[in-house]
């Protein structure tokens, strides 16, 4: 889940992925400006029918995850990704938005050429440690703000994410989390000024947000020790996004509660939602064995059980297996040499 993307000054892109911790042409609703945030006097409703923001089509896709970042493997990725959906996501160092030759700009051009929309998600810390990529001082914040504005002004993306799995930062460094919480509205406002149609959001890690920190996380599961209250810290978001890797907690998709992607979420927000990462491994560690068929069963569950809240984005983390830390290395819809798989076929179903 911790994906830091780097690019050379040429067109070749190199992304390092480490884990621990449909439809083009349709226009999303205008940004909400943060006016749909529940308060004590106006609690969130219990049903999505009361959502004040018009329901949008679900854009489905994958992250930037080619077989390799050289030659045809890289360019062919975009062709295959178009079969997988309408969007691709780029997640990487926020500083890359300040470089017109950087990864998000190159990927945006290739996505556009292949009739894909790019969802760019900028990160400013390392999820596994909570360490900032650079101090969040005035100089850094100015650079981050200007980079986000520059990219938004040039490409007018439908979606822009700022911060990935920010509840992980809150767990280990509340002061830096508070600084980002104060900074977020400034950037969101500046982005909308140059690209009024861009929907700005931040991303939470769903399992840890729910208090599920056992299993392969190595801690314990205690839903009473949750961080749902953090969803109220960002009233300026147009939607709330989540990453979800339930295979870290549950050994089989059938163990996942049927309302896992609905009940508690709609109890704590009525903002639109999105899933910017999801995964289930085919090959697990001892005691957590899996299979291609099990992965496909989770994909079917993921697509089905997220439907009630009609997420705006539904993303699978990897198109092809990546050189990632276990257990994330076998989460691709396809192995590096595959053209089809049970997971791929499951993903293509409506």
- Quick: pLDDT tens for 154-206: 999 999 999 999 999 999 999 999 999 999 999 999 999 999 999 999 999 99
Q: What is the DSSP letter of 57?
A: P
Q: Indicate whether 75 pLDDT > 50.
A: yes
Relative to beta strand 117-123, strand 87-93 is parallel
Q: Indicate whether 51 pLDDT > 90.
A: no
Confidence of residue 44 (pLDDT cuts 50, 70, 90): very low
**What residue spans define the domains of the chain?**
2-21+50-348
Q: What is the DSSP letter of 221?
A: B
In angstroms, the CA 327 to CA 248 distance is 8
More confident residue, 9 or 199: 199
Q: How far is CA 348 from CA 83, 85, 283, in A?
A: 8, 8, 22
Confidence of residue 33 (pLDDT cuts 50, 70, 90): low
Confidence of residue 14 (pLDDT cuts 50, 70, 90): very low
Q: Indicate whether 263 pLDDT > 60.
A: yes
Q: Which pLDDT score, from 0 to 100, does residue 28 have?
A: 38
Q: Which pLDDT score, from 0 to 100, does residue 350 have?
A: 85
Please provide the CATH number assigned to the domain covering 2-21+50-348: 3.20.20.80
Torsion of CA 302, 303, 306, 312, to 10 degrees: 120
If DSSP codes are grouped into helix, strand and coil, which group holds residue 320? strand
In angstroms, the CA 247 to CA 302 distance is 12
Q: What is the DSSP letter of 6?
A: E
If DSSP codes are grouped into helix, strand and coil, which group holds residue 291? coil
Q: What is the DSSP letter of 307?
A: G
Q: Which pLDDT score, from 0 to 100, does residue 56 have?
A: 67
Q: Indicate whether 72 pLDDT > 60.
A: yes
Confidence of residue 57 (pLDDT cuts 50, 70, 90): confident
* Average pLDDT, integer, range 70-95: 97
Q: Indicate whether 99 pLDDT > 90.
A: yes
Concatenating the DSSP letter of every residue in 20-75 gives ----TTPPPPPP-TTTT---SSSPPPSSGGG-SSPP-PPEEEEES--S-SSHHHHH
Calculate what percentage of the chain has a pLDDT beyond 70.
84
Mean pLDDT of the chain: 88
Worst-scoring range by mean pLDDT, 21-25, 114-118, 311-315? Answer: 21-25
Q: How far is CA 59 from CA 74, 87, 117, 175, 305, in A?
A: 22, 7, 9, 35, 16
* Average pLDDT, integer, range 319-325: 95
Q: Indicate whether 266 pLDDT > 50.
A: yes
In angstroms, the CA 209 to CA 245 distance is 12
Contact between residue 208 and residue 171 where contact means Cβ atoms under 8 Å apart = yes
Q: Residue holding tokens 């198109």? A: 319
* Beta strands per DSSP E along the chain: 2-7, 13-18, 59-63, 87-93, 117-123, 159-162, 199-205, 239-244, 273-278, 313-316
């Amino acid at each position: 889940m911790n994906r830091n993307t780097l690019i050379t000054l040429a067109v070749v892109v190199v992304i390092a992925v480490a884990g621990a911790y449909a439809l083009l042409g349709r226009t999303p609703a205008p940004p909400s400006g943060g006016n749909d945030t529940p308060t004590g006097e106006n609690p969130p409703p219990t049903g999505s029918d009361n959502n004040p923001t018009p329901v949008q089509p679900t854009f489905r896709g994958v992250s930037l995850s080619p077989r390799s970042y050289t030659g045809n493997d890289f360019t062919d990725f975009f062709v295959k990704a178009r079969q997988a959906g309408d969007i691709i996501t780029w997640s990487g160092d926020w500083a890359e938005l300040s470089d017109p030759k950087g990864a998000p700009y190159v990927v945006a051009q290739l996505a556009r050429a292949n009739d894909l929309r790019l969802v760019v998600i900028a990160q400013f810390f390392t999820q596994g440690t909570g360490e900032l990529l650079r101090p969040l001082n005035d100089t850094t914040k100015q650079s981050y703000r200007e980079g986000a504005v520059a990219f938004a002004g040039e490409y007018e993306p439908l979606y822009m994410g700022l911060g990935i799995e920010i509840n992980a930062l809150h767990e280990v460094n509340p002061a830096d989390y508070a600084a980002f919480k104060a900074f977020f509205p400034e950037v969101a406002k500046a982005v909308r000024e140059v690209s009024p149609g861009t929907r700005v959001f931040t991303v939470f890690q769903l399992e840890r947000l729910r208090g599920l920190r056992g299993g392969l996380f190595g801690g314990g599961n205690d839903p009473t020790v949750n961080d749902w209250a953090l969803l109220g810290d960002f009233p300026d978001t147009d939607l709330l996004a989540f990453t979800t890797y339930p295979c870290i907690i549950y050994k089989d998709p059938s163990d996942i509660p049927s309302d896992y992607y609905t009940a508690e979420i709609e109890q704590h927000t009525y903002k639109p939602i999105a899933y910017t990462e999801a995964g289930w491994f085919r090959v697990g560690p001892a005691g957590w064995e899996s299979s291609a068929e099990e992965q496909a069963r989770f994909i079917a569950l993921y697509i089905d059980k997220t439907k009630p809240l009609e997420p705006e984005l539904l993303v699978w983390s990897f198109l092809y297996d990546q050189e990632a830390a276990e257990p994330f290395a076998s989460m691709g819809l396809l192995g590096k040499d595959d053209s089809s798989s049970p997971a791929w076929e499951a993903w293509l179903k409506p």
